[in-house]
A and B are shown apart, each in its own frame.
Chain A
Amino acid sequence: EAQVTQNPRYLITVTGKKLTVTCSQNMNHEYMSWYRQDPGLGLRQIYYSMNVEVTDKGDVPEGYKVSRKEKRNFPLILESPSPNQTSLYFCASSYAGAYEQYFGPGTRLTVT
């Protein structure tokens, strides 16, 4: 089954404790991206990757890192999480950036 998977689905952590949210797709997509969704602010792009080893900042990259060492994986790294990073995070992938995008199930992160 073609899909985008994210892990973990739910995470509660404390300020400053490094964490990684994994994202994997099995559709051989070139493009992958991370968004965060907040009430009243909608979905905003954090980082994107057009291909392996090619990443770039989206609209709200501060406090996040990404890497794209393999085509199928695009992990989101929070080196020192803060409470303002409490949000619902989505990973997406597509054949190319302007093609139909497929979203993962989301990761609900709470930073206390």
Chain B
Amino acid sequence: KQEVTQIPAALSVPEGENLVLNCSFTDSAIYNLQWFRQDPGKGLTSLLLIQSSQREQTSGRLNASLDKSSGRSTLYIAASQPGDSATYLCAGAFNDYKLSFGAGTTVTVRA
């Protein structure tokens, strides 16, 4: 069974600090890993997708890495802002029919 874990469940940082969000998974035969942002009561916004053949992906202040051998992905958000406050979910595709989601890390950026 493919399991995806995100620790910690919650994180609070002062504005301007870099954010480091962790995601671990049990099955190294991963097709891809996707990071999402979810605001309270809202839908999921796709942030980055890393294919299994890639080591990292970047978009603006966001950078995500993937290490299949250790079963880890990390999302870095540079120079955090209060608008970055949200829940961040990682999800692994280990087959061609579903995503396995982590429980998420809720981030609060203090002004």
Residues of B within 8 A of A (CB): 31-32, 34, 36, 41-46, 49, 89, 91, 93, 95-99, 101-104
A-B contact pairs, 19 of them (CB 8 A): A43-B89, A45-B99, A48-B97, A90-B43, A97-B95, A98-B31, A98-B32, A98-B93, A100-B32, A100-B49, A101-B34, A101-B46, A101-B91, A103-B44, A103-B46, A106-B41, A106-B42, A106-B43, A108-B41
How many chain A residues touch B (CB < 8 A): the figure is 26
- Cβ distance A87 to chain B, nearest Cβ, rounded Å: 13
**Residues A101 and B96 in contact in the complex (CB < 8 Å), given A42-B104, A90-B43:** no
Contact count A vs B, C-beta below 8 Å: 58
Residues of A within 8 A of B (CB): 31, 33, 40, 42-43, 45, 48, 50, 56, 58-59, 88, 90, 92, 96-106, 108
Identity of the chain B residue whose Cβ is nearest the Cβ of A100 in the assembled complex: B49
With most chain A CB atoms within 10 A of its CB, the pick from B36, B96, B104 is B96
Contact partner of A58 among B93, B98, B103, CB < 8 A?
Answer: B98
- Cβ distance A37 to chain B, nearest Cβ, rounded Å: 9
Cβ of B97 and Cβ of A56 under 8 Å apart? yes
Contact partner of A43 among B32, B45, B49, B101, CB < 8 A?
Answer: B101
The docked-state distance in angstroms from the alpha carbon of A105 to that of B44 is 7
- Give chain A residues whose Cβ lies under 8 Å from the Cβ of B97: 31, 33, 48, 50, 56, 97
